[in-house]
Amino acid sequence: MTTSTLLRATLCAILGTASAQALALDPLSYANYDQVRTRALHMDLKADFEKKTLSGFAELSLDWLDKSARTLDLDTRELTISKIEAQDAMGRWTPAKYSLDKFDQEKGQALHVQLPAQAPKVRIHYHTAPTASALQWLTPAQTLSGKRPFMFSQSQSINARSWVPVQDTPSVRFTYTARIQAPQGLRVVMSADNNPKATGKGGWKFTMPQPIPSYLLAIGIGELEARTLGSRTGVYAEPLRMQAAAYELADTEKMVEAAESLYGPYRWGRYDMLVLPPSFPIGGMENPRLTFLTPTMIAGDRSLVDLIAHELAHSWSGNLVTNASWKHWWLNEGFTTYVTTRILEVLYGEEVALMNLQLEQEEAIDSLKEIPPAKQALVTRAADTGSDTYTDEGLAYPKGAWFLRTLEERAGRAVFDPFLRGWFDSHAFQSVTTGQFIAYLRSNLLAKHPEVMSDAELDEWLYGPGIPASAKHARSQRLTALDAATAAWIKGELPTAKLDTKGWTAAEWMKFLNDIDNKVDAKRLKELDLAFGLARTGNNEVAFRFYRAAVHAGYRDIRPQLNAFLMSVGRQKFVVPLYTALRANAEDRAWAENVYKSARERYHPETQGSVDKQMAKQ
């Protein structure tokens, strides 16, 4: 037994079995964090838009757990290291020996720093590659004004290593500071304390006083304006997008208050948001203190603000209490999806929350036909050996939320709400596993209320495929009423002109389009389009579902609008299913491939990789 193994065994004995599971090393990280952990990070970097690189140094403050360890192992991907220095006990910096392992397509390269003694700090001088997987460098033409370039990061899940040499695992949390130099006229923002009055003179300076995992490291650089929304909320956006963004996000302060009323104080200081250019690959990224948002959530009527509620909810589930490895992804996203519904209910009422919830559950059920049963569990019992053993990430959102809602409905909110708040409070700023949650659930809920859920049903929710038969399905009165009209329209019994859509919400349009998909022909889709202008709607969630249904129906009159959509929107949730649908039909395949040739450079590397896989399929 090595010293580090002995150390882990000792900690396991002290912490108990459930907590010990958190000590299993993350298979997607090369870091030896059972021997040494990063306590704090300082970055001093310069952004070069011509070379598309960040260059400078990263300084890691270290806590050595294993007294015999003399090596620091870090995660990198395509970083060029120029030198590494180590600080001794007297504060002197001396060169340190290091080596890089062979490149691995998924994990990048391990960086081994050999030290004669346990250094309190190590400083790594480096620069990123233009192809860094976390960074997208946009030309002025890809921005709203067309005047200045833009750059933003997306570190989740293991892409932080492509712009900072770190222990790139959610098991390790650290505070950070930074000084970033950028070209004049561009503002730098980070997942830290952004000062809207800062000028950048002498470099843009940041402090993140709360410990975070590496995937929450975030940076954005561009022509940005700042606007205050509330006493502790604000938004950053390109000047030409600011007015629309500020209107859409006006309820953010109320959302923070609603979440606090349920789950305790917001512990991150300010809650600001950055609205990015449309190539941002996901809906939102919960970077603490500065949520990154897609502009596709701007509908002009605040109908898609559930996205904001979701990213805010991460301030408790995910950022405050974090999955220890990506095997336990549902602890981040399932919890957050549940909390989102509760926030919406407080702000907008039970019926609005129920409509969103029913739509979420129906789409989850529909997604099961595309997911192998072995990938439908919330978590697998198999050893955590890498991404090939992980379950479906997308299903973790609604299925995890459904599981928690089942517990809530059976226990009652008077019992369940304090239970969930207690989970956040007792595990604040920690990284956790499913085993730890099960132990907490058994001790703090099921021991007192065993009737809430049996061991067999608990196992079915966590480790079984699909949605358990015992699950209660959400039913909104408005969406239930919509079913009859939808069925009559599909059968041709209700003419398009008689569809009474005046009071329909975005959720009702989304459900209607989901329910008619693959059930009507191009002629019926054209009638809908002419009657309601769906190919030109400003609501991107509605537009996506209409385009998908149109492709399936062979309604090709909307190609100009669909082309514009695919050329301007890079959100994977939209573009990947649309390209997939287009390639399924020989008449659409060549057209889709030509669109992608023009659009590809506009997409984030993550989106490019996803669409490339679809295009490679025969």
For 279, phi and psi rounded to 5 degrees? Answer: -75, -10
| C-alpha neighbours within 13 Å on the C-beta side of residue 205 | 5
Q: Which of 173, 146, 139, 132 is nearest to 41 (CA)?
A: 173
Residue type, 138: L
Report the DSSP beta bridge partners of residue 108: 104
Q: CA–CA separation, 584 vs 554, rounded Å? A: 11
Q: CA–CA separation, 364 vs 573, rounded Å? A: 14
Q: Which of 507, 510, 557 is nearest to 529 (CA)?
A: 557
Catalytically annotated residues = 311, 397
Strand pairing category for 271-275 and 233-237: parallel
Q: Residue 353's Cα: distance from chain center in Å? A: 21
Q: Which two tokens stand for residue 604?
A: 């984030």
Helix (H, G, I), strand (E, B) or coil at 490: helix
Residue 193 near residue 269, CB atoms below 8 Å? yes
Q: CA–CA separation, 93 vs 283, rounded Å? A: 43
Q: Which two tokens stand for residue 15?
A: 């912490």
Q: Which two tokens stand for residue 105?
A: 């397509």
Residue 482 near residue 444, CB atoms below 8 Å? no
Residue carrying the six token digits 């997942």: 191
Strand order in the sheet with 97-100: 71-76, 109-114, 97-100
Residue 62 near residue 39, CB atoms below 8 Å? yes
